[in-house]
Structure 1
Amino acid sequence: MTTTDGGLNHMLTDMEAAPDLYKPTNFWNSGLESIVKDIEAEGMENFRTHPSAAFFYVPVYASNTLRKYGKYLLPVVDRMRPRKRAKAMVRLTRSDRARLDYRILRATSVAGGLDIDSVSESDAGGGERFEFDGKSYSRSMLNYMRALNLLKKTVDTSGIRSVLEIGGGYGTLGEILLKARPEDSIYVNVDIPPVAAVSTYYLQQVFGADQVLTYTDSREMEEIDLEALKGRYKAVVLCPWQLPKLKGAFDLFANFMSFQEMEPDVVANYISLVAPLTAAHVLTRNTAVGKKIAQKAGDIGVFEQVTTGFIADQFHGFETLAADAFVYGEMNDTGSYVSQVLVLGRQVA
C-alpha cells in the first residue's frame, strides 16, 4: 500500500499565511514543534508511540511510569513470578481501566443504526491497543464508541453516511464510520498540521492511499463539494483555512476534546462555518468546567475557557437532546474534571 506524507510541508508553509482564526491557539502552539520533531526523527510508521503523541492527540491508558521508564521496567517485570508479573502489568498498563470502558461500551450498546459493534481497530501506527471479545480497541476508539452509544440511544443513526469533524486526531471516528458503513459513507476531518498529516497517513494505511483526498491534492481547489467527493473518496483531510471552501450537507458534525483546547473566538468562528453544513445532529465531548488557564504565552493551557455550555450556545438553531459525563464521558469525584458528551439536534421550524 503506497502513501504520501499527507502534504505536511505544504500544510506548514500555508499555515504561516492563514488568518489567525485558523492557526493553532496557545494550547497547541506549546506542542506543535515537538510533534513535528518526532515525525521528522521517527517517521509516521509508529506515530502512536511518539513522546509528544500521548499528550496531544493519542490518549492512552498506560501509566506515566510505563511511558517514561518502560524500557527499563519491562525486563524486570518479565523476570517476576507469574502472579506478581500480572499484577505489575495491570498497574503499569492500567488495562483494568480499558476493560472498564469496554464493559461500559457493551452495557450501553444499542441495537440497530450505525453498526459500531462490528468495528475493530487497525494496528497501523503502532502503540497501545487492547483486545476484547476478539476485537482491538485503543483508548481513543473506546472514547468515541461510548459517545456514539449515547448518540444511538438518543436519535436514529441508521441514516448517518457523512460525518464532518474538526480536530479528529489521527482519524479514529473516520475509521469507525467507514468500517461500520463501508459501502456508502464519507468522512471529512479538518485539523491543524501536523496532526492533519498524521490522520492522512493513518486513514491511507487503513483504507488505501487512493481512498483519501490529501491536502496536496485539495489545496488549490476553489470549492470542495461534498457531493463531488462522494464515491471518489472514503475520507478527506483538510486544514482549517480550507473550511470556508467546503460545501454540502453532512449528517453529523463531531468534535471530541479539541474545542476545549481553543480560544472562544476560534470556536465561535468554526461553529459559524460548520453549523450551516450540518443537516441533522452534532456530537461533542468536551469539558463542562474548562481547561487549565495558561499564565503566559507558551504555557500549556488556554487564555479563556471554552465549556460545553459555550459550545451548545454557539449552535444557533440546534437544541440539546442529551448531555452526560457520568457514563458516556468521564468525571472525577471532586467535579474538577467533567468531560461531557453532548448530542444536539437541528430544530424543526
Structure 2
Amino acid sequence: MSQKYGASGLWTYNTTANVTREAVRDLRDFKSNDVNFKLALWNPSTNGVRYLKALVYTLAGGLDAENWQRLRNIAHRDVGDPFSVTYDGETVCLDYIQAVYELGFITRTLDLDGRSVLEIGAGYGRTCHAMLSNHDVASYHIVDLENTLELSSAYLAEVLTPEQFEKVTFTPVSDVDDTVAGRHFDLGLNIDSFAEMEPDTVVDYLRLIAGNCDHLYVNNPVGKYLDKTLDDHVQGDEVVALALRTGLLRDVIDIHDNRAVAAEVPKFLDAYRPGPAWSCVADGPAVPWSYYWQALYRADSAAV
C-alpha cells in the first residue's frame, strides 16, 4: 500500500484526538464540536479574538470614504491597547468603527458644530472623543457612575487636545439634579447603557432629556436574550437574572432572528421617545450587533 498520500504528523494527531472513527459516525452535532473545529470552523470558545479581529477586518473593508475620514480625524485611538487590525495602513478597532457609524447616523440629520451635548453613560469616552475630533462642539457634558467617570476623565485627558478637554464636564449621577437640571442641551445621547439601568432610572433620564434637550440619540438592544451558547453564562445565574430585570425592553427574543428583532422595533421607538411632544426623525439598525437599534428623536418645539 502506497504511503505517499498519507496524513501529516498534525493530521495523524487530529484523527486520534478529534476526528476519530467514533466521532465521525455521529452526525447529530458534529458541526458544533471538535470534529468540525478541525475541519471547517475554529472553536469559538477558544478563538474569540480571532473572530473579533475578523469582524473588525470585515467592517473596516466596508467603511466608505466619509467614515474613513472621520476615523482618521480621531487621534490616539490606540491608547488602552485595543484589539485592532491594520487596514490600508490604518489601525482600526471595533469601538471606533461603531463610533464613526453612530456619528454618521446623527449628522445626517443634525449639524453638531456649535452644539451642546449631554451624554448619559459614556463608558471610557470613545463617543466624546470621536465627536470632538470631528466637530466643533461647544460643550460636552458627561453623566456617569463615579468609577466610570474616573476612567473617562483620565482617558479623555490623554487623547483629546487641551482645548477639546476644556469643553468636557464630568458629573456623577448623584449630582445630576444640582448640575444638569435647568441647563439646555442641543443633543442628549445614550449608547448601550439604558438597557442596563433600573427601569425607573431610565424613565427619570428620559424626563430629564424631555425637559432639557432638543434632540435625543439612543442606541441600545431591542430586547433580552437567554442563549447560553453565546457566553456560557460565565458570570453566573445571579448576574443573568439581574440583567433580565434591567431596562425598559425586557422581552426575551432570539437575537439572531431578523424577524424577531424587527418585531421589537416599534416597542423600542415608543419606549425611548422622551415625551408626547417628541418625534422620531431617523432610525435603523446599529452596526454591528444584530439586536441593537438606533434612533434620533427631536422635540417638536425644536423643529420650528
Shorter-normalised TM range: 0.5 to 0.7
Aligned partner of residue 154 in structure 2, secondary structure: helix
CA drift of 1:304 comes to 4.7
Q: Deviations over 1:156-211 (max 9, x none)?
A: 425453221111100011111221135x5322111113111100110111136796
170, 174, 197: which one aligns with 1:241: 174
Gaps of 5+ in 1: 1-62, 68-90, 213-232, 333-337
Question: CA separation in 2, counterparts of 1:297 and 1:180?
Answer: 38
Provide the residue aligned with 1:312 in structure 2. 272
- 1:181 aligned residue: 135
Whether contact under 8 Å (1:253, 1:274) holds in the other structure is: yes
Is residue 329 of structure 1 aligned with residue 287 of structure 2?
yes
> Deviation string for 1:80-137 (max 9, x for gaps)?
xxxxxxxxxxx72632211232344427x489xxx73542352222232334344443
* 1:271 aligned partner, one-letter code: L
Distance 2:300 2:134 in 1: 27
Query: What is the alpha-carbon distance in structure 2 between the residues aligned to residue 344 and residue 241 of structure 1?
Result: 26
What residue ranges of structure 2 are gaps of 5+ in the alignment?
1-43, 228-235, 250-267
Q: 1:147 maps to which residue? A: 102
**1:255 aligned counterpart, secondary structure:** strand
Post-superposition CA distance 1:235-269 (Å, at most 9, x none)? 11211122212243222211111001112111001
Identity of aligned residues (%): 20
TM-score for both structures, normalised by structure 2? 0.64
- Aligned pair 1:194/2:127, yes or no? no
The residue number in structure 1 matching 2:209 is 274
The reply on whether 1:345 has 2:289 as its aligned counterpart is no
Larger deviation: 192-201 or 158-167?
Answer: 158-167
Query: 1:40-59, aligned counterparts within 5 Å?
Result: none
Q: Which has the higher contact order (CA 8 A, sep 6+)?
A: 1
Runs of 4+ in structure 1 deviating by more than 4 angstroms, as ranges, are 208-212, 291-300
TM-score (norm 1): 0.57
Which residue of structure 2 aligns with residue 84 of structure 1?
none
Distance 1:141 1:297, change over 3 A: closer
| Separation in 2, partners of 1:302, 1:124 | 33
Q: CA RMSD in A?
A: 3.2
The corresponding residue for 2:123 is 169
Paired residues, number: 230
Q: In 1, are the aligned partners of 2:187 and 2:217 still within 8 Å (CA)?
A: yes
CA distance in 1, matches of 2:57, 2:144: 30
Superposed, 1:13-32 pairs within 5 Å as: none
1:253 to 183, 188, 191: 188
User: In 1, distance between residues paired with 2:63 and 2:218?
Assistant: 17
SS of the counterpart of 1:187?
strand
Q: 1:138 Cα shift?
A: 2.7
SS where residue 237 of structure 1 aligns?
strand
Asked whether the equivalents of residues 321 and 343 of structure 1 are also in contact (C-alpha less than 8 Å), the reply is yes
Tell me, yes or no, if structure 1 residue 303 matches structure 2 residue 241: no
Aligned-partner SS, 1:314: coil
Report the AA paired with residue 74 of structure 2: S
Give the structure with higher Rg (CA): 2
Q: 1:329 to 1:210 in 2, by over 3 A?
A: closer
Alpha-carbon deviation of 1:64? 5.9
Change (3 A) 1:199 1:339: same
Distance 2:145 2:112 in 1: 30
